[in-house]
Structure 1
Amino acid sequence: MRNRFHEDLETVAGQVGELFGLVERAIARSSRALLDADRELAEAVISEDLRIDLLCRQIEAEAIEIQMRQQPVARDLRLLLGVHRIVADLERSGDLAKNIAKQARRRHPSAVVPSTCRETVASMAQTAQSLWRHAHQVFDEEDVETARGLDAEDDQMDSLHRSLLLAVIEGAGASEVETAIDLTLIGRFYERIADHAVAIAHQVVYISTGEVVG
């Protein structure tokens, strides 16, 4: 019975790893669609979000079933509780990537990001992808040390977000209102993606040590 229990836990962990891959891919592809004004890629990200949502529901259902059937304690219980929270962060991040793709699709064939802000937005995209690679590593390897370091990367995202907002404010008189709104939303989407990556890292610390972070 215990062997089956741990096999079930490993299955759920593997599914969460698959979900990480899907969300990382969505973030990377939506960023390319945004910066390259690629409608086809944007459509692919939007369509694939359904796959993310379905996998989230599947993982949550299996985690609940294991918890009810086995009534785990200590670290095993923390893992199942943490999985619920991590899956929620993954799902929301997939939705944010979809929102970025929708911005690219809505403005096609025009570029959403003007040349004056392209470098900042590209840096935000790169930082988001780096945070998610590290969050994935943290989960797969239960790497508490790396988990604690994600806050510093999140500070970098916050700094880029402030730079983007400042550029929007400074250029408000010369740019279209629609562009200013789009950039404000995009900045917020990337900031929230980063926040979810950090929240996942904090959950891994909790799973591994029992320490509540954040």
Structure 2
Amino acid sequence: MVIIVIKDNEFTLLEEYQNQSRRFVYRFLKRTFDIVASLLGLLLLFPVFLIVSLAIKKEDVNGPVFYFQYRVGRHGKRFKMYKFRSMVVNADKILDSLAEKNEVDGAMFKMKNDPRVTHVGNFIRRHSIDELPQLVNVLIGDMSLVGTRPPLIREVSEYTEYEKKRLVVKPGCTGLWQVSGRNDLDFKEMVDLDIEYISRSSLALDITILLRTVLIMIKPNSAY
């Protein structure tokens, strides 16, 4: 386990880690629910996985179906996050050339008409289907069904002490940010919503967010 080294506001952040660690019952129930729900989800959604895989291969027979990227989780631990590939194969390599077209402030890149997104990718991203393989991350314990947005390593390197508070819980497949506007929100609003989730987190809130996520998958919000 890797712990983020805090130089400023050390007591405040350490206290937040300790507060979350003391919530034994909530964390046990949440983890139990994550295991059962992710396992059932992987079994029931197998036909969807198969259809999406065939569609990705049909569009680009030589490209991989799945895409992984290292993200930062609870306590700053790095993990490999899985997704359906929704961009061209060399998407990461051409990111620097698009940096000036970033449409959000802060340590995050978002571009509405990103030229790297494939035709199949555009559909699965709008309906959040590209994130279904993250159920594997939930099952093995890197992520939770509901949590904060899993940040990139380069994003965390630019974090302020306030933004590092997002790392006191496991990142989630969905969260308060995703169901409250998603890409219509800027980086600061996303961080604020993640920290609000941490302060309000409960099983009731998790279930509410999951239900809202299902509705968004059927009728997409601002995902792209």
TM-score (norm 1): 0.30
Structure ranking higher in helix proportion: 1
Q: Which of these two proteins has the greater Rg computed from alpha carbons?
A: 1
TM-score (norm 2): 0.29
Q: Which has the higher contact order (CA 8 A, sep 6+)?
A: 1
